[in-house]
Structure formats: C-alpha cells, structure tokens
Amino acid sequence: MVKLKYSALYTDNLGCEQATVYFSKEEFQLKVRGCTFKNDSLNFDFYGKNSEKFNSLFYLKDDELIDYVLDIKIPVTLFCDNEERIEKLLLRVERRKNYYNNSLSFFIRDVFYKVEGYDLRELLIKMQKELPQEYYMKDCFSYMFEGHHLNLFKVESKKIKKLQRVPITYISDDYCLS
C-alpha cells in the first residue's frame, strides 16, 4: 500500500503546531501532539480513540476531532503547452462544532483560484474545472479515486467542446431546429 506523507499546520484554540498527514487508498491519518486520528473515507472527519490524553489535548465530539483548522501544501504536476511544472496547492480543512469549510487554493500568473467542497476528490475535480483551459493538473491522488476521474474529466471536456451548438426555436410544445 502506498502512503503519501505531507507536513501540515494544525491550529485550534490551544495553539498552532506542526502535524503530519498521511493519504492512502483506505484512509487519511493525522498525527499531531503525539496522537493519531484516522479517517476511513476521503472526507476530513478524523476520529480518535476517546481517552484522557485525547480529551485533554483536543476538542472531540463523539470521538470526532472538531474545532480546528488544518493547512496542507500539496505538490501537483501542472501541464501547460507541453511544459511540466511542480506547483503547490493549499488544502485548508476547517472543522467547527456545527459546520465545515474545506477549500483548495492555488496562485499562478497573478491569478488566485479557490474552490470549496466536502472531500478531497470533489476539491480536485472542482479545481481542474476552475483552471484555465490550457492547464491540466496531474495529481498523485488519482489512484485513490478508483481510476482516472481527473483524466476522464479532461477527455470528456474536450469532447463537449467539439460539439456544435444548434439553436432551437420553441413553438408551443414542439420545437424546430433553426
């Protein structure tokens, strides 16, 4: 099993600390303050075993880590005009007691791109849509998404752009191709 490891910045009401995040096909792991939290899906709901140590160092709601912000810089390969560049996306996970706010942001050529979503897959797909047409983002997470969803999106987008638009005139419930 392949694991991707990234350093992160964990912030809550108790302070700001370095953390480590591991991504694999089966789960996310967050290691901070000597404790490990796990998530068995690709969203950002981290759970830990309820213990005295966890309760004294973190805010938990039914064993779920809450009231924190996690900032992770994720390197991605960006292609533009047959040039390959390594760029960093900023993944920001914000969990509060009653809501979440997850975003993925990117700054290139004096333009700031930001998308919001529920899980990592949704954020990466939205970011690919947000980027200018000449950019293609190749990431190291594709293997986690049961195939090539981002590559499939690129192929499907090209097919749609090749379609010809035909104006339609509606007359009552019937229509005519103009």
Tens digit of each residue's pLDDT (9 = 90 or more) over 44-63: 889 987 677 888 899 888 88
| Residue 103 contacts residue 92 (beta carbons within 8 Å) | yes
Q: What is the pLDDT of residue 61?
A: 86
Residue 99 has pLDDT above 90, yes or no: no
pLDDT score at 174? 54
Mean pLDDT of the chain: 80
pLDDT digits (tens, 9 = 90+) for 69-91: 999 998 888 888 888 888 899 99
% of residues, the chain, pLDDT over 70: 75
Residue with tokens 């998530």: 39
Instruction: Say yes or no to pLDDT of 122 above 50.
Output: yes
In 82-173, the DSSP E strands lie at 83-95, 100-108, 111-117, 135-138, 168-171
pLDDT at 23 exceeding the cut of 70:
yes
Report the C-alpha gap between 77 and 14 in whole angstroms.
Answer: 35
* CA-wise closest residue to 91 among 132, 30, 158, 175: 30
Long-range contacts of 77-80 (CB under 8 A, 24+ apart): 77/137, 77/138, 77/139, 78/108, 78/135, 78/136, 78/137, 78/138, 79/135, 79/136, 79/137, 79/138, 80/134, 80/135, 80/136
